[in-house]
């Protein structure tokens, strides 16, 4: 008859990209007459913030301020093909496509600036503030608006670019399973602290503390959003959720938020994290996908913490109070 | 050309759509309205497995506002082709049931009416003549002789190039088991769960004057959905125009192309805009789940903690239809042994059909259940041999240059560094030996 | 069934509508009047996405017949948003990254406004209590709680403690 605390850990990897590859994405960039860069896509933002991070990647690949970059998505008439947002693929694939398109657009930009400034393109750099100037001589510069107007109306050039990224599709050896499933791996290690009520079997998660390695954070606040949201979803997966409470029977399947249990704001633990960056060899600026991984490591960490608390190793999800109590009873030999 | 510097990347700039979200001005599919829109509701099977003997629409047709019903006979190519589009086959799920239903909730007929209430009332008055069949709900039961069979090809499993499961064979596990000091087994089971996004799956189809159809949808994959819809409807692909990109929560639940094809068909047949949006109980009881997974581990472990042999037999509960589960089972097979350096690995990963709501993609597809099982198994190993749980991971952690069981060389490994950082975050002291490890410290990997 | 006429105050404007009996406030707002900030999440009263204020009290518009708001003041997110700029709660949600997909956000803002209107300096537990009828599947709630705390500080004249 007590509340017993326990700690558990879990360490996981998570692959980036549609399994086996063969999932292309394209991007088209064009500049308006006054130096706004429009990146046309057919990619979807599920709420994770794709439209924001892609603008950041585009801005740095072009060498222009992020406020000069607009993301135009999603319309299959105007946006080029994208396989979709899933498998932690979008920032990686679409980001790479944008970088490729940006390189082409940037070259045109520098060529026009070179003509205007009467230097060669190799002598120029972008300052990220909206100007192109001679390396080491910031006073010899041209701003993006002037540059765009010149391109359109003086040189008859389109500052635009095309990009595409695809990891070639890998076959799978039917006998050995040999395959190349992913572009890169992200990693997570979670330590969960729980409190188990030995009288009711209820488990309260006190804290979820994790280290994540994600290659490169394009937007740290949005990464943190995935960590916090994913930790809560992982906890939910471990302790609450089921569409088949009597699995494998199909009886009593929930049909509303009253009987499909998910956490409310009173259920959330303390969530702390540290993010490591070891740039991947093939992601845009070293990015690795992060959106799915964050819900994975909390699950076994919580289950392992329950074992640490009360010596009951639950092997079937969700961990319900009933399962905990039965486990305690069995352990005590009653 | 000089390289640009990083100015925006790495900054926590504000969300592009944040102002739209906080003012309520962000537009979602259900916020888009056109006059004279019709509403589609589905007639669904009340039982998990049955032959369809007949459907009687006569009472439904009398409901004021009823416009028409659609059955499989109206669908030009009545088969979902989502697997074909990612190079996996066969496709076997009908858009509308033909001669039988294989899960409770399977769609049988679509009712189109002037209001959602009329559509629901009419759908409720459709009379189904069903001959119930025995049903199977357990993955291992489904593979036993005598089990009710779900598939036309006579089995309850997906065939992977002639095999009844996805196989990984690396080294010799039997040899590994004979050398091991301990054999540790475990059985792990995850539950099917729901994505439960706050916005349900849905679309609105508008016939345009030029003969094209604009489909406003919250799919996670626009071209994927467009292509699949065109194949099902036998339409030239350029007749369809998909618009979306703003999704009120996806988590993998909006990649099944489950609403667009039939809604487009209804728009084609009626000439009106048609809205088909899942109700919450449909979202929970009918739309794809994360399928349940059952995994059996048998590990051969040395006294010093090294796992020398790992055998995993797993069963993915695909439910009544493939959806994307066959794909996930391959992904699962590539991850179920874990980020560890194990010289002998044997994996049999099955994709099994049962008479339940189909599973499909959900955040972590195929890997979430694997990570759960293998990390609980790692703790079990630690306890059995008397090692610290952190130690067992460090001893087995993979390095760059190691070869994974599916024979891909490890690169971008950072498991060790990530664990070190987590230990530091929580103040867990690590022995010097583990603090000194890093992912590049094994010369030549484990090729030798 | 014969239609009814119902008069009420919507976002400060006297409004008269003609409805079929038992039309929900949710359908009235979204289908008839074009105010789509109030969302549809479940139509079961279980998720809070459709929350509006009726005489300052949060109510699930999906379960509320229009007849029941006769003569009352109804506030939706459109009514809280100023013509220019943002309400401090909206600023706080924006700056604290308290939205991801944004679908629960209108409901969260509505219940937060109701809370701060009656309790300008709520404790964390009181904030949690006020948000407990609203489902969020993306954020894990923590940034929303912090946004409300932050908004309370702004509205009380503090510059972030």
Same structural domain, C64 and C13: yes
What mean pLDDT do residues A144-161 have? 96
Q: Which residue of B has its CA nearest to C94?
A: B18
CB neighbour class for A119 (10 Å; exposed up to 12, middle 13-18, buried from 19): middle
Residue B21 lies in a domain: no
Residue in the structure block whose two tokens are 């499989």: B72
* Spatial distance between the Cα atoms of A84 and A102, rounded to a whole number of angstroms: 21
Neighbours of C, requiring at least 3 CB pairs below 8 Å, are A, B
Asked which of B253, B285, B317 is the last residue of a domain, the reply is B285
A258 to chain C, minimum CA–CA distance in Å? 6
Q: What percent of chain A has pLDDT over 70?
A: 99
C57 and C98 belong to one structural domain: no
Percent of chain B with pLDDT over 70: 96
Tell me if residue B32 falls in helix, strand or coil: coil
- Cβ atoms within 10 Å of B187's Cβ, excluding its own: 13
> In terms of Cα–Cα distance, which of A53, A128, A65, A52 is closest to A288?
A53
Residues B205 and B80 in one domain: yes
Confidence check: pLDDT of B448 > 50? no
Q: ∠ CA(B312), CA(B313), CA(B315), 5° rounding?
A: 135
Chain B contact for C44 (CB, 8 A cutoff): yes
Residues in chain B within 8 Å Cβ distance of A281? 411-412
Chains that touch A (3 or more CB pairs under 8 A): B, C
Q: What is residue B81's predicted lDDT score, i.e. its pLDDT?
A: 79
Last residue of a domain, one of B238, B259, B285: B285
Cβ contacts from B onto C, under 8 A = 97
pLDDT band at C1 (very low <50, low <70, confident <90, very high): confident
Closest-CA distance of chain C to residue B16, Å? 10
Task: Please check the confidence at residue B56 and state whether its pLDDT lies above 50.
Answer: yes
Model confidence pLDDT, tens digit, residues C9-45: 999 999 999 999 999 999 999 999 999 999 999 999 9
Same domain flag for B359 and B421: yes
Within a domain: residue B159? no
Which overall architecture, per CATH, does domain A25-165 show?
2-Layer Sandwich (3.30)
Q: Could you tell me if A4 and A327 are in contact, meaning their C-beta atoms sit under 8 angstroms apart?
A: no
The verdict on C101 touching A (C-beta cutoff 8 Å) is: yes
Domain that holds residue C64: 4-78
Strand B202-207, strand A137-143: pairing: unpaired
| Residues B305 and B189 reside in one and the same domain | yes
Judge whether A3-16+182-331 and A25-165 match in fold. yes
| Mean pLDDT of the region A242-260 | 96
- pLDDT tens, C99-112? 999 999 999 999 99
Q: Are residues B316 and B388 in the same domain?
A: yes
Per-residue pLDDT, averaged over C91-118, amounts to 98
pLDDT of C160 strictly over 50: no
Number of domains chain C is built from:
2
Residue C8: which CATH number? Answer: 3.10.20.30
From A47, A49, A229, residue closest to C140, measured CB to CB: A229
Residue C160, domain member (yes or no)? no
Rounded Cα distance between A3 and A193, Å, is: 13
Residues B378 and B315 reside in one and the same domain: yes
CATH class of A3-16+182-331: alpha beta
- Of C51, C78, C105, which one is at a domain's C-terminal end? C78
Interface contact flag, A313 B379, Cβ < 8 Å: yes
Rounded CA separation B267/B206 (Å):
7
Place of tokens 């010149």: A150
**In chain A, whose CA is at the least distance from the CA of C104?**
A47
- Give a yes or no: residue C120 inside a domain: yes
What share of chain B in percent tops pLDDT 90? 94
Q: A88-126, pLDDT tens digit by residue?
A: 999 999 999 999 999 999 999 999 999 999 999 999 999
The closest CB to that of C44, out of B22, B250, B280, belongs to B280
Using pLDDT thresholds of 50, 70 and 90, give the confidence band for residue A83.
very high
B90: preceding bond cis by omega (within 30 degrees): yes
Domain that holds residue B422: 166-193+289-435
Examine the domain organization and report whether C64 and C18 are in the same domain.
yes
- pLDDT, mean over chain A: 96
Judge whether residue C76 has pLDDT over 60: yes
Selected for mutation to probe chain C from B27, B198, B278 (highest C CB count within 10 Å) is B198
Reported as a single tens digit per residue, the pLDDT across B81-117 is: 776 666 666 789 999 999 999 999 999 999 999 999 9
As a whole number, mean pLDDT of residues B30-34 equals 97
Reported as a single tens digit per residue, the pLDDT across B219-273 is 999 999 999 999 999 999 999 999 999 999 999 999 999 999 999 999 999 999 9
Predicted model pTM: 0.96
pLDDT recorded at residue B82: 73
In contact, C57 and C114? CB cutoff 8 Å: yes
**Residues C69 and C120 reside in one and the same domain:** no
Q: Is residue B384 domain-shared with residue B424, that is, in the same domain? A: yes
Return d(Cα B151, Cα B324) in angstroms, integer: 16
C-alpha distance from C155 to closest chain A C-alpha (Å): 23
Tell whether C83 is covered by a domain. Answer: no
Neighboring chain C residues of A224 at a CB cutoff of 8 Å: 97
Three-class DSSP category at C139 = coil
Residue from B261, B263, B320, B256 nearest B291 by CA: B320
| Residues of A tagged active-site | 292
ipTM passes above 0.95: yes
Number of domains in chain B: 2
**Chain C residues within an 8 Å CB radius of A228:** 139-140, 142-143
Convert A71-82 into a string of H (helix), E (strand) and C (coil).
EECCECCCCCCE
Average predicted confidence (pLDDT) for chain C: 96
Range of weakest confidence among A126-130, B68-72, C138-142: A126-130
CA gap A229, C100 in Å, rounded: 10
Q: Are residues B310 and B364 in the same domain?
A: yes
Mean pLDDT of chain B: 95
Q: Do C131 and A265 touch (CB under 8 A)?
A: yes
Q: Do C10 and C60 fall into the same domain? A: yes
């Amino acid at each position: 008859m007590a509340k017993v605390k326990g700690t558990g850990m879990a360490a996981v990897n998570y692959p980036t990209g549609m399994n086996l590859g063969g999932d292309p994405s394209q991007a088209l960039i064009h500049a308006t007459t006054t130096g706004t860069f429009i990146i046309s896509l057919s990619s979807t933002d599920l709420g994770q913030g794709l439209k924001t991070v892609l603008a950041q990647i585009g801005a740095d690949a072009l060498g222009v301020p992020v406020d000069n970059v607009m993301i135009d998505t999603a319309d299959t008439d105007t946006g080029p093909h994208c396989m979709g947002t899933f498998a932690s693929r979008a920032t990686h694939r679409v980001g790479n496509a944008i970088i490729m398109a940006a390189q082409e657009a940037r070259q045109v930009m520098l060529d026009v600036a070179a003509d205007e400034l009467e230097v060669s393109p190799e002598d120029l750099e972008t300052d990220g503030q909206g100007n192109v100037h001679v390396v080491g001589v910031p006073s010899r510069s041209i701003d993006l608006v002037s540059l765009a107007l010149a391109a359109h109306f003086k040189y008859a050039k389109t500052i635009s670019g095309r990009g595409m990224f695809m990891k070639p599709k890998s076959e799978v050896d039917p006998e050995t399973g040999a395959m190349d499933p992913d572009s890169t791996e992200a990693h997570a290690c979670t330590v969960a602290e729980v409190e188990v009520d030995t009288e009711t079997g209820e488990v309260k998660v006190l804290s979820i503390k994790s280290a994540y390695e994600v290659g490169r954070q394009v937007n740290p606040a949005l990464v943190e959003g995935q960590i916090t949201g994913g930790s809560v979803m992982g906890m939910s997966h471990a302790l609450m959720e089921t569409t088949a409470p009597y699995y494998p029977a199909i009886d009593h399947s929930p049909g509303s938020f009253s009987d499909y249990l998910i956490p409310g704001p009173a259920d959330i633990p303390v969530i702390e994290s540290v993010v490591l960056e070891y740039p991947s060899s093939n992601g845009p600026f070293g990015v690795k996908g992060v959106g799915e991984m964050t819900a994975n490591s909390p699950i076994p960490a919580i289950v392992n913490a329950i074992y640490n608390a009360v010596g009951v190793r639950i092997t079937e999800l969700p961990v319900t109070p009933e399962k905990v109590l039965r486990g305690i009873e069995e352990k005590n030999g009653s | 050309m000089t390289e640009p510097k990083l100015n925006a990347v790495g900054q926590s700039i504000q969300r592009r759509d944040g102002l739209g979200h906080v003012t309520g001005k962000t537009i979602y599919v259900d916020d888009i309205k056109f006059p004279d829109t019709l509403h589609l509701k589905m007639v669904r099977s009340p039982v998990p497995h049955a032959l369809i003997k007949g459907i009687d629409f006569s009472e439904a047709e009398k409901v004021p506002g009823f416009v028409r019903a659609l059955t499989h006979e109206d669908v030009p190519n009545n088969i979902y082709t989502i697997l074909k589009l990612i190079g996996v086959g066969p496709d076997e799920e009908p858009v509308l049931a033909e001669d039988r239903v294989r899960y409770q909730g399977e769609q049988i007929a679509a009712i189109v009416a002037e209001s959602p209430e009329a559509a629901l009332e009419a759908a409720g008055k459709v009379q189904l003549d069903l001959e119930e069949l025995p049903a199977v709900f357990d993955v291992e039961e489904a593979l036993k002789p005598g089990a009710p069979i779900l598939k036309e090809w006579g089995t309850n499993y997906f065939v992977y190039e002639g095999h009844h499961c996805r196989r990984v064979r690396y080294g010799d596990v039997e040899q590994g088991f004979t050398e091991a000091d301990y054999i540790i087994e475990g059985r792990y089971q995850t539950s099917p769960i729901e994505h439960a996004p706050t916005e349900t799956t849905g679309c609105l189809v508008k016939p345009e004057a030029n003969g094209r159809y604009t489909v406003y949808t919250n799919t996670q994959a626009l071209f994927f959905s467009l292509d699949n819809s065109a194949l099902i409807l036998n339409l030239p692909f350029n007749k369809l125009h998909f618009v979306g990109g703003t999704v009120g929560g996806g988590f993998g639940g909006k990649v099944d192309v489950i609403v667009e094809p039939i809604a487009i068909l209804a728009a084609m047949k009626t000439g009106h805009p048609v809205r088909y949006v899942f109700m919450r109980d449909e979202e929970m009881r009918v739309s794809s789940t994360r399928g349940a997974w059952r995994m059996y581990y048998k590990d051969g472990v040395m006294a010093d903690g090294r796992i020398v042999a790992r055998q995993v037999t797993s069963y993915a509960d695909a439910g009544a239809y493939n959806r994307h589960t066959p794909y996930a089972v391959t992904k699962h097979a590539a991850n179920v042994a874990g980020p560890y350096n194990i010289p002998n690995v044997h994996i049999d990963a099955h994709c099994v059909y049962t008479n339940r709501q189909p599973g499909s993609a959900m955040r972590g597809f195929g890997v979430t259940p694997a990570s759960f099982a293998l990390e609980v198994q790692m703790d079990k190993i630690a306890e059995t041999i008397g090692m610290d749980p952190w130690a067992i991971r460090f001893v087995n952690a993979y390095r760059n240059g190691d070869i994974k069981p599916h024979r891909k060389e490890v690169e971008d490994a950072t498991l060790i560094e990530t664990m070190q950082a987590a230990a530091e975050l929580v103040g867990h002291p690590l022995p010097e030996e583990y603090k000194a490890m890093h992912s590049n410290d094994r010369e030549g990997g484990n090729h030798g | 069934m014969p239609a009814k006429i119902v008069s009420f105050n919507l976002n400060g404007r006297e409004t008269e509508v003609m409805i079929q009996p038992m039309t929900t406030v949710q359908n009235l707002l979204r289908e008839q009047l074009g105010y789509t900030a109030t969302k549809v999440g479940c139509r079961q009263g279980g998720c809070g996405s459709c929350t509006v204020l009726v005489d300052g009290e949060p109510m699930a518009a999906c379960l509320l017949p229009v007849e029941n708001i006769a003569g009352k003041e109804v506030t939706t997110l459109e009514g809280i948003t100023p013509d220019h700029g943002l309400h401090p709660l909206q600023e706080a949600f924006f700056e604290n990254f308290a939205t991801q997909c944004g679908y629960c956000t209108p409901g969260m803002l509505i219940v937060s406004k109701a809370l701060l209107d009656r309790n300008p300096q709520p404790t964390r537990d009181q904030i949690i209590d006020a948000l407990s009828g609203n489902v969020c599947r993306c954020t894990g709630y923590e940034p929303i709680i912090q946004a409300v705390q932050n908004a309370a500080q702004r509205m009380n004249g503090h510059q972030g403690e």
